[in-house]
């Protein structure tokens, strides 16, 4: 059972979020006196910018539906459903005036029954019963006026609506139009009341495809006009929802549309959008688009009153080129304008525009003694000739007035010329334009035959022996019927009937008294009387048939109106059907998704060993998983029971308190407990949130952590034992290593100091004495030889002295123990420049960490060896040392050169001593005292070596043992550079 079958008994509530064509719903309900309710949709959803009959929030929908139900009930019980005050024409005019002043649109030219239907639905929404109350509401509420305006703009537009009609348009209209088109001449199409542009794009697609098939290049201009600017903006974008797949052929969809977003919407290609020009125009009051070849105005006329329709057809007559075409809706016809439009397809309401008849181009043949006079062209210098011509015309009109009638092809009079009262007479009763009804007695049958013959043969028909019955006998007349055709010899548009008096019939020259002749004359007279009686009977029958025809015409008009109503209903039902189909598809997809999700959740819960139970606000069971039977002996039939009915031995204690805490704080709570069967469970309680983020209870999960707890306890005990043992062993080994390292460093330092003291006290002193003695020999005899020998010995001794001094300083520089590491590095840079010509630049921070003496010594010797390597192998005379503090109280020293570099991987892969760099030995010494060394170098890019060492407080190496740092000089060596 369809909604429309129930007329006013139906109530429809539609969710506009899923309706692809919600704008069309008011059309269907307007045709069947229903009430439409639509929920407010969000902007930017890609739907056409139309409002439904009324827009209400969810909270107000129930009240509106109740009011609509009361309206439907009153209609069903037979009570008057029309609100009081509908007979107040002033109120209705006031409403239309408000709409006109706010939106510059006059709905007074729309059908009144449609306007009343829409207004009544708006009143039902607001529970108003009197029209003046609604008028006051419109005055005070601009939003209601805006809503009513949108309701009255019925914007139903679909791609290729009535596909068979578009096929006929393509084959019978567009194909010949394209074939006759001239290359370079634009094809112009006008689509008034285009709404969101679907029909404008439809005709553009058909013409572009026809041009493509014909391989012609003609500009196309489609003028799409409407009074709704929001709909025009939507049409200009050319983006439509995926529902257009149901109306657009797959070939057109692939050729002229492109997908434009993940939602499945389609956009017209640029070549189509560039052909369509959208503009605001009121087709009723604004000037029409002129010189167009095709007008597509479908399902607009059915909403307008009769006078407005006729005015629109006059506009279409002006706008169309000769031979242009008019495409109307299935319930629309030109009506009385059959002289302007010739049907191409009556079924699909496609018409061809007749060529407008011009006076100079109408072929009107006349006899030599005709009443027409050819007037010569007027010239400015021939004013006297003009006066003579005017005088001649006036004399002819006065003394020889022509008697003629111009009639249509249906024999209706269009124009009278001259005195026609001798030939025509208006019949009694209702006035009529039928020429045969106006013909005098005796002329009607001959005139009808001549009219039909002239219309059929397209030639002039002359009747010389027609007679008109008068009071004293018959009067003989002569008349001619001249068909008026198109200038190009096309269809016949008019018939011109010219009447002339032929005089009385000639009297017989002799009198006869023959009885046989007299008998024949009497029989002939009787026959004439019988024929006249038959003619009168036929006339009466024709009159009755004419009356019947008028009744049929009236019934046809009513059926036409009913057909228009059905067309409106069909539009609404089609839109509603599209909406329902889209909604069904969406719901089917949702059902499939829900079924898949439910199956996934069931399998997930069944595969996991976590028991889950859901409780509502009253802590009653909503649902549970099968695992709860093993945990708390809860089965599926316990749904709805309070959780407090079950023992806490398996579920744990404090469930209600923890659940209340979760509902209050919305924070998860988890508890580990041991059940009666010696199993350990981890209970976790979280809030139960709906899709709208409402809290509808709690969810509890139980995880069996018995094995994990036992394993954890065992692992914890084992790790504790291992950690204790390992820590003890590490402490012992670390103490041993530190003791050995300190002893080794101190022993090495003592040996170096002893060696330096011996060299200084013995060899250096001896060499100094030798030098002094040799110097004293310079004044002895044999001066030349002796001087040369002494000079050579002095040079050798100086060299030995320098070597010894350098060796002494390098083995144990005194500045390292007295001033610290950084001053020692500065001294080392001076020595490197003096001995090797290597300039060393040192950068340092003010607050460097304190190092122990073994660390200072090891780092100093490592840096010295690295600088020696730079001077020998880097092929450069410039290096730098950067000292700064790092995070964690660590000292970082970086040695950098810009020499030729080396391959570090290859250098460290060589056997010890073969590479010549000693990097492995330096790294081992640094790491042995707890430091780190990083090397970065490649051939041709220099080398960067970074030494990082943590600072530590100085401790006594052995209990009761003190090193040399206990002296004042040693204490001074603990500096911060």
Q: Encoding tokens for residue 632?
A: 């708390």
DSSP bridge partners of 190 = 223, 295
Per-residue pLDDT at 37: 42
Q: Each residue of 858-913: pLDDT tens digit? A: 888 888 888 888 888 888 889 999 998 888 778 889 999 988 888 877 777 765 44
d(CA 325, CA 350): 7
Contact status, residue 145 vs residue 118, Cβ threshold 8 Å: no
Per-residue pLDDT at 278: 94
629 three-state secondary structure: helix
Which pLDDT band, with edges at 50, 70 and 90, does 514 fall under? low
* Region 357-365+398-504: CATH code: 3.30.450.20
Q: Each residue of 838-851: pLDDT tens digit? A: 899 998 887 788 78
- Tell me, yes or no, if the two domains 163-356 and 608-704 fold the same way: no
DSSP bridge partners of 897 = 879, 943
Q: Each residue of 624-678: pLDDT tens digit? A: 888 888 888 888 888 888 988 887 777 888 888 889 999 899 899 988 888 877 7
Q: What fold characterizes domain 608-704?
A: Beta-Lactamase (3.30.450)
Regarding predicted confidence, which is higher, 74 or 110? 110
Q: Each residue of 791-807: pLDDT tens digit? A: 767 776 776 666 666 66
d(CA 677, CA 685): 22
d(CA 276, CA 221): 6
Q: Each residue of 262-309: pLDDT tens digit? A: 778 999 999 999 999 999 998 888 889 889 999 999 988 888 888 888
Centroid of chain to Cα 878 = 67
Region 579-594 average pLDDT: 89
d(CA 106, CA 340): 27
Centroid of chain to Cα 655 = 50
Centroid of chain to Cα 284 = 33
d(CA 124, CA 267): 39
Regarding predicted confidence, which is higher, 567 or 406? 406
Burial class (CB in 10 A: 0-12, 13-18, 19+), 481: buried
Q: Each residue of 17-48: pLDDT tens digit? A: 433 333 333 333 333 344 444 433 444 444 44
Write 808-813 long-range contacts (CB < 8 A, 24+): 808/755, 808/756, 808/759, 808/760, 810/864, 811/752, 811/755, 811/756, 812/749, 812/752, 812/753, 812/756, 813/860
d(CA 657, CA 666): 14
**943-950 sheet: strands from edge to edge:** 839-844, 878-886, 890-897, 943-950, 932-937
pLDDT at residue 78 greater than cutoff 60 = no
Q: Using the CB atoms, write b or e for 182-195: b if 16+ within 10 Å.
A: eeeeebbbbbbbbb
**What one-character DSSP code corresponds to residue 764?**
I
Per-residue pLDDT at 497: 92
Which pLDDT band, with edges at 50, 70 and 90, does 758 fall under? low
269 three-state secondary structure: coil
Within 10 angstroms of residue 318's Cβ, the number of other Cβ atoms is 13
Nearest to 671 by CA among 689, 656, 693, 691: 656
Q: Each residue of 200-240: pLDDT tens digit? A: 999 999 999 999 999 998 999 999 999 888 899 999 999 99
pLDDT at residue 821 greater than cutoff 90 = no
d(CA 136, CA 147): 15
Nearest to 126 by CA among 113, 145, 112: 145
351 three-state secondary structure: strand
**257-259 sheet: strands from edge to edge:** 239-240, 266-268, 257-259
d(CA 411, CA 439): 12
Per-residue pLDDT at 638: 87
**What one-character DSSP code corresponds to residue 930?**
T
Which pLDDT band, with edges at 50, 70 and 90, does 50 fall under? very low
* Region 815-973: CATH code: 3.30.565.10
Per-residue pLDDT at 504: 54
Domain limits, the chain: 4-152, 163-356, 357-365+398-504, 608-704, 815-973
Per-residue pLDDT at 952: 61
Give me the helix-helix angle, 89-103 and 112-125, nearest 10°. 90
* Region 163-356: CATH code: 3.40.50.150
Percent residues over pLDDT 90 in the chain: 15
């Amino acid at each position: 059972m369809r909604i429309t079958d129930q007329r006013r008994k139906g109530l429809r509530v539609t969710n506009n979020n899923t309706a692809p064509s919600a704008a069309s719903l008011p059309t269907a309900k307007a045709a069947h006196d229903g009430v439409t309710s639509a929920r407010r949709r969000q902007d930017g959803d890609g739907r056409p910018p139309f409002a439904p009959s009324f827009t209400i929030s969810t909270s107000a929908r129930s009240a509106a539906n109740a009011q609509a139900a009361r309206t439907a009930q009153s209609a069903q019980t037979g009570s008057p459903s029309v609100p009081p005050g509908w007979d107040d024409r002033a109120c209705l005019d006031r409403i239309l005036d408000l709409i006109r002043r706010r939106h510059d649109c006059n709905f007074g030219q729309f059908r009144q029954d449609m306007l009343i239907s829409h207004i009544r639905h708006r009143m039902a929404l607001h529970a108003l019963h009197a029209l003046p109350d609604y008028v006051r509401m419109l005055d005070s509420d601009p939003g209601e006026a805006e809503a009513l305006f949108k309701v009255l703009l019925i914007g139903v537009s679909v791609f290729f609506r009535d596909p068979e009609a578009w096929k006929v348009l393509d084959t019978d209209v567009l194909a010949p139009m394209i074939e006759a088109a001239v290359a370079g001449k634009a094809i112009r199409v006008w689509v008034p009341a285009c709404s969101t542009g679907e029909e404008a794009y439809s005709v553009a697609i058909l013409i572009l495809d026809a041009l493509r098939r014909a391989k012609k290049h003609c500009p196309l201009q489609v003028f799409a006009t409407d009074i709704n600017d929001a709909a025009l903006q939507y049409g200009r974008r050319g983006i439509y929802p995926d529902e257009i797949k149901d109306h657009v052929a797959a070939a057109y969809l692939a050729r002229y549309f492109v997908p434009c977003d993940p939602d499945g919407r389609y956009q017209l290609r640029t070549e189509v959008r560039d052909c369509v020009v959208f503009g605001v125009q009121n087709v009723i009051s604004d000037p029409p688009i002129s010189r167009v070849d095709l007008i597509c105005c479908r399902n607009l006329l059915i909403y307008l009153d009769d006078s407005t329709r006729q005015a629109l057809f006059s506009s279409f007559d002006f706008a169309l080129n000769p031979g242009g075409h008019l495409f109307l809706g299935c319930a629309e016809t030109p009506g009385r304008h059959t002289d302007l439009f010739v049907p191409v397809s009556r079924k699909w309401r496609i018409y061809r525009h007749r060529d407008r008849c011009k006076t100079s181009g109408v072929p009107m043949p006349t006899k030599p003694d005709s009443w027409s006079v050819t007037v010569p062209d007027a010239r400015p210098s021939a004013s006297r000739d003009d006066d003579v011509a005017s005088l001649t015309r006036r004399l002819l009109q006065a003394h020889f007035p022509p008697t003629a009638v111009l009639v249509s092809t249906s024999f209706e009079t269009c124009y009278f010329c001259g005195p026609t009262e001798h030939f025509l007479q208006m019949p009694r009763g209702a006035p009529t334009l039928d020429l045969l009804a106006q013909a005098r007695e005796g002329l009607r049958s001959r005139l009808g035959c001549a009219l039909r013959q002239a219309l059929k043969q397209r030639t002039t028909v002359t009747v010389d022996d027609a007679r008109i019955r008068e009071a004293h006998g018959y009067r003989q007349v002569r008349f001619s019927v001249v068909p008026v055709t198109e200038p190009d010899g096309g269809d016949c548009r008019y018939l011109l009937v010219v009447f002339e008096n032929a005089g009385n019939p000639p009297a017989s020259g002799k009198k006869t008294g023959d009885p046989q002749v007299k008998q024949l004359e009497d029989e002939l007279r009787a026959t004439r009387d019988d024929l006249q009686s038959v003619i009168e009977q036929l006339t009466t029958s024709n009159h009755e048939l004419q009356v019947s025809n008028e009744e049929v015409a009236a019934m046809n008009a009513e059926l036409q109106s009913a057909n228009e109503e059905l067309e409106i209903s069909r539009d609404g039902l089609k839109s509603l059907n599209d909406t329902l189909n889209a909604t069904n598809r969406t719901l089917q997809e949702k059902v499939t998704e829900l079924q898949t999700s439910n199956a996934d959740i069931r399998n997930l819960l069944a595969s996991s060993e976590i028991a889950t139970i859901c409780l509502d606000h009253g802590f009653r069971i909503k649902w549970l998983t099968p695992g709860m039977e093993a945990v708390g002996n809860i089965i599926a039939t316990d749904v709805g029971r309070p959780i407090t009915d079950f023992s806490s031995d398996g579920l744990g204690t404090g469930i209600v308190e923890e659940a209340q805490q979760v509902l209050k704080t919305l924070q998860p709570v988890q508890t580990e407990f041991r059940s009666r069967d010696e199993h350990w469970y981890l209970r976790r309680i979280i809030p139960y949130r709906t899709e709208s983020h409402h809290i509808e209870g709690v969810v509890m999960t139980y995880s069996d952590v018995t094995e994990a707890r036992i394993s954890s306890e065992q692992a914890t005990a084992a790790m504790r034992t291992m950690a204790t043992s390992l820590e003890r062993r590490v402490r012992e080994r670390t103490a041993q290593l530190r003791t050995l390292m300190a002893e080794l460093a101190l022993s090495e330092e003592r040996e170096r100091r002893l060696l330096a003291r011996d060299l200084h006290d013995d060899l250096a002193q001896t060499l100094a004495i030798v030098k002094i003695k040799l110097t004293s020999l310079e004044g002895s005899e044999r001066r030349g030889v002796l001087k040369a020998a002494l000079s050579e010995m002095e040079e050798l001794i100086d060299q030995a002295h320098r070597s010894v001094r350098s060796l002494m300083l390098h083995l144990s520089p005194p500045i390292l123990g007295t001033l610290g590491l950084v001053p020692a590095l500065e001294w080392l840079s001076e020595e490197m420049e003096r001995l090797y010509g290597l300039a060393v630049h040192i950068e340092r921070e003010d607050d460097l960490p304190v190092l122990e003496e073994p660390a200072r010594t090891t780092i100093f010797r490592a840096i010295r060896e690295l600088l020696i390597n730079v001077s020998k192998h880097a092929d450069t005379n410039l290096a730098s040392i950067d000292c700064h503090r790092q995070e964690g109280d660590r000292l970082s020293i970086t040695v950098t050169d810009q020499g030729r570099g080396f391959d570090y991987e290859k250098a460290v892969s060589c056997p010890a001593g073969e590479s010549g760099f000693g990097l492995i030995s330096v790294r081992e010494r640094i790491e042995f005292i707890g430091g780190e060394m990083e090397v970065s170098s490649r051939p041709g890019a220099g080398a960067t070596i970074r030494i990082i060492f943590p600072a530590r407080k100085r401790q006594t190496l052995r209990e009761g043992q003190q090193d040399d740092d206990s002296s004042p000089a040693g204490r001074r060596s603990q500096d911060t550079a």
